[in-house]
Amino acid sequence: MKTTIMFLATLLFMATAGADDPRKTVDELKMIFVKMGEPRIEGVEKSGDIIAPVIYFGKHKINNSFTVVDKIKKTSGAYSTVFVKDGNEFIRISTNVLTPRGVRGVGTKLAHNQAYSAAIKGEVYCGEIDILGNSFYTCYDPFKDKTGKVIGIYLIGFKK
């Protein structure tokens, strides 16, 4: 009996050990989008209060669509965002991160912080970041179009 309880406790620990790992969870987020198809920018539309480029993965438009980010929240508890690159800025076009007013942060820009500095160079950043007034353990992973140009970022964060 005691061995069975220890075995079940070990299985439970193993199943939840990576549950708040932003690197692992951002990879899960990426795989969902990769399965949809190749990323590309096509056109512009309103995201929050900003007109932003529109990202498609295959035939799936991501701007103002929250199915994937909400699925990640439900399965892992993680906050997630897809940013689109617009000039030298990255704009939230799909997110489950809320603003201080309690609405999705769509149309808000990525702060010029360590994550921004890495993403603008096409590099991954994982570490602590303040997002819209809250502290998170995060992983920002830029993605590119078929020409190799950074067109957006995947973000996963767990509140501290």
- The residue count of the chain comes to 160
Structural domains of the chain, ranges and CATH numbers in brackets = 20-159 (3.30.450.20)
Percent of all residues in the chain with a pLDDT value above 90, rounded to a whole number:
77
| pLDDT higher than 50, residue 14 | no
86-132 tens-digit pLDDT: 999 999 999 999 888 889 999 999 999 999 999 999 999 999 998 87
Burial 110-147 (b: 16+ CB within 10 A, else e): beeeebbebbbeeeebbeebebbeeebbbbbbbbeeee
According to DSSP, the residues that pair with 129 across neighbouring strands are: 136
Q: pTM score, two decimals?
A: 0.85
3 state SS of 62: coil
